[in-house]
Structure 1
Amino acid sequence: MDYVTGFGGLLVPLIIWFASKDKIQGMDQHGRSIINFQLSLLLYIVISIPAILLLGLGLLGFLSVALIGFIVPIVNAVKAVNGEPPSYFMTIRFI
């Protein structure tokens, strides 16, 4: 979703999580995980920008963030449907 809307990938889950974390069972855990994942991806992108000057390592960072940002949410959506707990790769726990 970030590829199309930019910060919408962070704002939309944040709004949905605030609105329904107490109403839907498991929403609090999945919502926190999604917000932490999106914030982690944003941090990795910010770190990759100056790393472009270091032999192009930032480009590798951008590519890995793009792949992780595309694949991991799909895997965790399937887990959420099956009632399994989320597991986001390389996520820093902010909240």
Structure 2
Amino acid sequence: MPFKMIDKNQKNIATFIHLSTFSRFLFPLGNFIGPIVLWVANKDKSDFIDAHGKQAINFQISILLYAIILGMITIPLFVFNLFNGFNFLDIDAFNSIHISLTKPSPLLYITGGLGFIAVVGFILELVFIVKASLAAKEGKYYKYPLTINFLK
């Protein structure tokens, strides 16, 4: 197989595919729409662009899947913890509301831990996107960690 030189235009397109995931901060689902539009428009130009586009899209789908799973675990625990302290028979809305902080529920710690995992995951996602963008700019292939390959 002959070695194909990766030109500056291909590097720039691959870099922008990764960076376009940040468009989610401007409009909903931008982290999917941006890379998909750039990848579909340019995937036939080179294998380099095709590989980076697939990696970016696979990573975003994987992150969405992980967030849904984490949310499915966290939200019920948060709701159970929220309603755990309420006594529905003795609610008196016209007097004062009493909040007891002396004995937090173990669910509070679990929910807080899962929230911490979500924040760390978000920060790592940003770091991996920047690393992938820099690799594309240098003409190197990049494989996101913990990515499920939906597009092969």
TM-score (norm 2): 0.57
Q: CA RMSD in A?
A: 1.6
How many residue pairs match? The answer is: 95
Greater RCO structure (CA 8 Å; 6+ sep):
2
Unaligned runs of 5+ in 2: 1-21, 78-106
Tell me the distance in 1 between the aligned counterparts of 2:25 and 2:125. Answer: 9
Residue 6 (structure 1) aligned with residue 62 (structure 2)? no
Aligned partner (choices 87, 91, 94) of residue 143 of structure 2: 87
Once the 2 structures are TM-superposed, how far is the Cα of residue 6 of structure 1 from its aligned partner?
3.3
Report what 1:33 is aligned to: 55
Once the 2 structures are TM-superposed, how far is the Cα of residue 24 of structure 1 from its aligned partner?
4.1
**Greater helix content:** 1
Q: 1:35 to 1:29 in 2, by over 3 A?
A: same
* Percentage identity across paired residues of the two chains: 28
Q: In structure 2, what residue type is equivalent to 1:27?
A: I
Q: Is the 8 A contact 1:50 1:58 kept in 2?
A: no
Tell me the distance in 2 between the aligned counterparts of 1:5 and 1:62. Answer: 21
In our comparison, the structure showing a higher alpha carbon Rg is 2
Report what 2:69 is aligned to: 47
Residue 67 (structure 1) aligned with residue 67 (structure 2)? no
Secondary structure of 1:26's counterpart equals helix
Could you list the per-position Cα deviations for residues 42-69 of structure 1 after superposition, in whole angstroms to 9, with x for gaps in the alignment?
Answer: 0111011122226214313321321122
Tell me the distance in 2 between the aligned counterparts of 1:66 and 1:87. Answer: 18
Q: Is the 8 A contact 1:44 1:65 kept in 2?
A: no
Tell me the distance in 2 between the aligned counterparts of 1:10 and 1:62. Answer: 20
User: Which sits farther off after the overlay, 65-74 or 26-35?
Assistant: 65-74
